[in-house]
Structure formats: structure tokens, C-alpha cells
Structure 1
Amino acid sequence: MGQARLEWWANHSICLEMYDIDITVTVDAVGKLRATGRHANALDTTQREGWDFLMEMDPHFSIAFPGEDRGGIMVRVVEAENGTLSLTEAPDWDGSANGSFDLT
């Protein structure tokens, strides 16, 4: 149990957003990270809109633990209706996301 930071990277040099979370981490029998958590602080309206947008674009985040400047483990995040976050390690994630923008 502790704290961590979820980072959403647009590419290798641009981090669009970071979210502090309270987290409980376990490692399964084959050494794969699994965790549950919650946002450390309630998201305000603007933060919630940003979070929802990023989750819709691609629910993969890099996770950083205390003392790390940048996250190195990729996780897939699923948020339950009650706000609980489920994180599973995603080592095979290729960094691509599908999305479209209406620029009109």
C-alpha cells in the first residue's frame, strides 16, 4: 500500500497529464503487476473532463512510484463506477492509440 503517479504520455517526450493515486499493489504467480487504487485527491470538473478524455483515447498509463522521476511500467487502467481503479501490467502495449478529433 502506498502512493504512485499515473502518467499519460502522448509520445516519448510529452506527458499530457499526471494523476496521484493511493494504490495497493500485488504481484501474481507469474510476476505480473496488478493493483487497485483511487485518485489521491478528488478530481475537479476540469480534471475529470481531462481524465475521461484520456481514458477514452487510450487507458494505458505509465506508473511511477515515489522516488521515480518518470514511470517505467505500463499499465492498463479501468475505472469502476465507484471510482476504484484497477491496474494491470501491459508490457505488450505498443504505444498506439486510436482517436479522432473534430476541429470544426
Structure 2
Amino acid sequence: MTVYIDPPAWPGHGLLWSHLISDVSYDELHAFAGRLDVPRRAFERDHYDIPSHRYADVVAAGAVEVSSREVVWLLLASGLRRRKGREQGLSGAARTRTSPRPHSLG
């Protein structure tokens, strides 16, 4: 099992974040994150967001340190890259619609 993590360089919510990925499968990634008690809500499309204060723990558990560019390259090469706005191949309108349009009461 090999998972990878980039340096905590991505700002958000007053913290810096890393991306934790697998180049094998999402199952492998979820299993690794689960062993570290990383909440599933931290998973976004193709990676887990890891706060900087957890970085050393994740590396100590076996994640390989790579650059942010390498994270993208590994995801693309493995076919596991999921770009923003491209979830399940739906357009933005289809992806955000949660209910049918209301009927006219005309």
C-alpha cells in the first residue's frame, strides 16, 4: 500500500492543508485514512484534506512525501483524478439540482 501526501500549503479555515492520495484505489485511500481516524467528511473528490497539525502523524504512518505537482501527476497517471465540476460527468446545473422544477400553477 502506498499513499502520498503533499506539504501543507493550501490555506482554508485559518489552517494550512495537505492532500492525501492513493495511486492505486479509493478503497486503499479510505482504509489508510480510517486507520488514522481521519473523518470521511475530509474526503473531497480524489483526496483527503489533512490539516498541517496532522501532517507528521500521516507521514509517520507511512504516507510518502511528494510535491503538489507530483500529487496531480500521480492522480492523472493512475486515472483517479476527479476534477472540480466534473463529478459523475454531470453538468453544473444537473449536479446542483436537487428536486424537479415546480409546476406552474398558471
Q: Could you tell me the TM-score, scaled by structure 1's length? A: 0.30
Q: Using CA pairs below 8 Å that are at least 6 residues apart, which structure has the higher relative contact order?
A: 2
Please identify which structure carries the higher strand content.
Answer: 1
Please identify which structure carries the higher helix content.
Answer: 2
Q: Could you tell me the TM-score, scaled by structure 2's length? A: 0.29
